[in-house]
Structure 1
Amino acid sequence: MNPRAEFVERVRLHEQLAGTGRAATPLTDMLRAGIDTRIGSVDKVGDGVVALHDSTELPFDYALLAVGSTVVAPADAIPVGIWEGAERARALLGELSADAAVTVVGGGLTGIETASEIAESHPELRVRLVSPAVGASLSPRVQRRVLGVLERLGVQLVHDTVTGVRAGDDARSGTITLSGGEVLDSALTLWAIVSGVPDLAARSGLRVNSDGRAVVDQYLRSVSDPRIFVIGDCAAVPGARFACATAGPQGAHAAATLARLIGGRTPKPFSMGYTGQALSLGRRDGLVQAARRDDTLRRLHISGRLAAVSKELVNRYAKFGARTAIYAWVPGPVRLPR
């Protein structure tokens, strides 16, 4: 079940909106023969039934809930972490006149990649990145490298918080308001701050934590209904962060666990460790930050063209794993209590 007929690589949405790459592949090209694809939106999951918004009900023996995380932007800003937002931003970018201001709100990896991709591919625009901190999940040394590349690309850094966004009547009259009251022009404002997870698990009556993420057992099954596996950003796994590096291992493990259960074998508890973070800085530069398995940072990192190639290989491997179910990861220490 999916609301659209395409598989969307969220790690490539900054390329989609900048016009430098494509983030969507037909689901029919991703799935093996014999898998039935249904396009639609789900209202509830539970009691052995998936209830759709159109009142259709699909019975199940097992279900896997993988709705990810979402971005909720102010009315006059465009969320860049979802397909619809990236497509809308791509269309509007093509309509902007030279020297128009584009503001990216959010200094995480998504915001950094979005700002650098637009700055490199649209040098005629003024690109601004607004956030109290830039690259906070990276080591200080890598953060300095990121800031240097953004400066080279001409991205203006504003270390502040956006409190208001107003779209203009034309391509030059939009504005953003900062926490100190300063008002800046912004022909296009892109929101790159993850807001949380969709409320499907809570709406379905599954037990969720304070963030709305479904509480799962050591096998990634909902503690409310063991027939429902919950994977990715919407699963409450201690020590896990929002990332494809999290969702990939969880999806593969849940599928393997389901196969074990159907085959009458004993399932294995979920365990995974991280290896680092990777980000692109345009098409020819990037950074790879190494990490320990508990996701604490190491000093080791690579940058430049080699890092850009490494990030591209990471993206390709993530898609390969999703399409083939061939996926490997390091064990522990991210695991669930027994």
Structure 2
Amino acid sequence: MNIVVIGAGYAGTVAANRLRKKAPDARITVVNPRGDFIERVRLHEQIAGSGTATRPLGEMLRDGIAIETASVDKIGDATVTLDDGRSLDFDHAILAAGSIANPLPGAIPVGTWEGAEQARVALEALSTGATVTVIGGGLTGIETVSEIAEARPDLRVRLASDAVAAWLSAGAQRHIRRTLARLNVEIVTDRIVEIDETTLRLDSGTTLGSDLTLWAIVSAVPELAARSGLAVDAHGRALVDESLRSVTDPRVFAVGDCAAVPGMRMACATAAPQGAHAADTLARMIEGREPRPFSMGYAGQGMSLGRRDAVLQATDRSDRAGRLFFGGRLAARTKELVSRYAAYAARTGNSVWMRGPKR
């Protein structure tokens, strides 16, 4: 039994390690563009120089799992074609290609490893008084701007977004804005429509200066699923059945950011359970048993606000924010534990989650 796992983020690494335990006789190959596991929840630390987001992939995968450092060009009929022309045959494949960013020209995308490294180098080169602009008022943008402002108080730092943490409770939003104010982060609510070197042109027609502009909006996925002829939604995410199998080819599972699973958001909290469920389902199928539907509910969301502050927002199982939230140092320590657990789950394949809401 040949199993190819495409992508070694949280979803792919959890899936591969869990399969190694549950289907020990299977030949598992992980294909990844780089030889490192990237902790995407720590990319903002990598950018600001307050932490690191890489671990050697060989240390994250169980013994017996083969690693191919390459990109996948296409998923064909029981064959994966690599970008160097080689091919790998499979009985089953797990597509865990993650997500990407499509920034405005002139901005550096910080939601990917390559972009985060480029941003880190550029940030280090800035002298006192320079201006950094982070575009995006979601989790990635808020964590990035907070980390930079705390690590580099000598810089002028701004966040550009028409909405900041709008999906959270009113109390959590107030806490975030108070913290950003304490860190001297300027908030610009006008939309940036064009970047011309060090000049930002706003929707209102005004301009702002920016020595470094970072794009913190992650909303796109690689074109691999569509290029391979798999059915996709309007965003390019692979359409899957209730067991996370492609509706086009049931030999292919799709998990994480690149899978179109109703009610799920892009997050490691989503990716790990989906990777684990794909592994469990595939192990059942190898044993001749029927697959089970995927069901997952959320309990909360967390975001770092530098190294000494954070917000933990309680949600219902559908991921809707309630009134309850926590902020401050205790929240920061708890968020750190959550980030460590995400890496632990990837390394061991031991992911746990709640069942989803009744529909």
TM normalised by structure 2 equals 0.90
Deviations 1:165-220 (A, max 9, x none): 122xxxxxx11111111111100000011231111000000001111111101110
1:223 alignment partner, one of 212, 234, 247: 247
Report if the CA contact (8 A) 2:171-2:325 is conserved.
Answer: no
Deviations 1:149-176 (A, max 9, x none): 0000000000111101122xxxxxx111
Report if the CA contact (8 A) 1:272-1:334 is conserved.
Answer: no
SS across alignment from 1:208: coil
Runs of 4+ in 1 over 6 A off after TM superposition: none
- Equivalent runs, 1:254-293 vs 2, <5 Å: 254-293=278-317
Report if the CA contact (8 A) 1:48-1:60 is conserved.
Answer: yes
Q: CA deviation at 1:264?
A: 1.5
- Equivalent runs, 1:171-320 vs 2, <5 Å: 174-320=198-344
Deviations 1:30-79 (A, max 9, x none): 00000000011111112000011111111001100001111111221100
Counterpart AA for 2:274: Q
Corresponding residue of 1:322: 346
Counterpart AA for 2:146: S
CA distance in 2 between partners of 1:334 and 1:56 (Å): 45
Counterpart AA for 1:218: E
Deviations 1:265-294 (A, max 9, x none): 222110000011100000000000000001
- Equivalent runs, 1:44-83 vs 2, <5 Å: 44-83=74-113
CA distance in 2 between partners of 1:202 and 1:19 (Å): 37
CA distance in 2 between partners of 1:5 and 1:166 (Å): 35
CA distance in 2 between partners of 1:190 and 1:331 (Å): 37
CA distance in 1 between partners of 2:319 and 2:358 (Å): 9
CA distance in 1 between partners of 2:101 and 2:143 (Å): 16
Report if the CA contact (8 A) 1:105-1:130 is conserved.
Answer: yes
Asked if 1:5 is matched to 2:5, the reply is: no
CA distance in 1 between partners of 2:304 and 2:270 (Å): 19
Counterpart AA for 1:12: R
Counterpart AA for 1:138: L
Report if the CA contact (8 A) 2:243-2:292 is conserved.
Answer: yes
Counterpart AA for 1:207: A
SS across alignment from 1:271: coil
The gaps in structure 2 that reach 5 residues or longer are 1-30
Corresponding residue of 2:161: 131
CA distance in 1 between partners of 2:358 and 2:254 (Å): 16
Corresponding residue of 1:100: 130
Report if the CA contact (8 A) 2:170-2:323 is conserved.
Answer: no
CA distance in 1 between partners of 2:233 and 2:107 (Å): 29
State the superposition RMSD in angstroms.
1.0
- Identity among equivalent pairs (%): 60
The gaps in structure 1 that reach 5 residues or longer are 168-173
